[in-house]
Amino acid sequence: MGEHHHHHHSHSTNKKVLFISFLIITGFMIVEAIGGVLTNSLALLSDAGHMLSDAVSLGIALMAIIFAQKVANASKTFGYKRIEILAATLNGLTLIVIALFIFYEAIGRFMNPPEVASTGMLIISSIGLAVNILVAWIMMRGADTKDNLNMRGAYLHVISDMIGSIGAIVAALLILFFDWGWADPLASVFVAALVLRSGYHLTKASLHILMEGTPQDVTVEEIIQTIEKYDEIKALHDLHIWTITSGLNALSCHVVVNDDLTIKESEQLLDKVEHDLLHQNIQHVTIQVETNTHQHERSVYCTAKQDISHQHHHHHHH
Ligand SMILES: [Zn+2]
Ligand SMILES: [Zn+2]
Ligand SMILES: [Zn+2]
Ligand SMILES: [Zn+2]
Residue range 35-56: mean pLDDT, rounded: 82
Span from the CA of 102 to the centroid of ligand 2 (angstroms)? 44
252 CB neighbour count, 10 Å cutoff: 15
CA pair distance 83, 254, nearest whole angstrom: 29
| Residue 1 neighbours by CB under 8 Å, 6+ apart | none
| Residue 55 neighbours by CB under 8 Å, 6+ apart | 22, 25, 26, 29
Span from the CA of 222 to the centroid of ligand 1 (angstroms)? 17
Span from the CA of 82 to the centroid of ligand 4 (angstroms)? 20
Span from the CA of 82 to the centroid of ligand 1 (angstroms)? 26
268, HSE (Cβ side, Cα atoms, 13 Å): 5
Span from the CA of 202 to the centroid of ligand 4 (angstroms)? 28
Least confident of 138-142, 145-149, 158-162, 279-283: 145-149
Span from the CA of 139 to the centroid of ligand 1 (angstroms)? 30
Span from the CA of 150 to the centroid of ligand 1 (angstroms)? 27
Q: Phi and psi for 290 in degrees, rounded to 5?
A: -135, 165
Span from the CA of 284 to the centroid of ligand 2 (angstroms)? 6
**Residue 137 clears pLDDT 60, i.e. is over it:** yes
59 closest CA partner among 15, 106, 2: 15
Ligand nearest to the CA of 277: 1
Residues in the 5 Å CB sphere of ion ligand 1:
2
Report pTM: 0.75
* pLDDT value of position 174: 92
Ligand nearest to the CA of 242: 4
195 closest CA partner among 91, 98, 268: 98
Span from the CA of 299 to the centroid of ligand 4 (angstroms)? 10
Residues in the 5 Å CB sphere of ion ligand 3:
254, 290, 296
**Residue 5 clears pLDDT 60, i.e. is over it:** no
Span from the CA of 280 to the centroid of ligand 1 (angstroms)? 10
Span from the CA of 239 to the centroid of ligand 4 (angstroms)? 7
Bigger pLDDT: 97 or 275?
Answer: 275
CA pair distance 248, 243, nearest whole angstrom: 6
pLDDT tens digits, one per residue of 48-67: 877 777 777 777 778 777 77
* pLDDT value of position 154: 64
Span from the CA of 216 to the centroid of ligand 4 (angstroms)? 20
pLDDT tens digits, one per residue of 199-254: 898 899 999 999 999 999 999 999 999 999 999 999 999 999 999 988 899 999 99
CA pair distance 277, 30, nearest whole angstrom: 48
Bigger pLDDT: 318 or 211?
Answer: 211
Ligand nearest to the CA of 79: 2
Span from the CA of 79 to the centroid of ligand 3 (angstroms)? 27
CA pair distance 159, 237, nearest whole angstrom: 44
Span from the CA of 288 to the centroid of ligand 1 (angstroms)? 22
Residues in the 5 Å CB sphere of ion ligand 4:
238, 302, 304
Ligand nearest to the CA of 290: 3
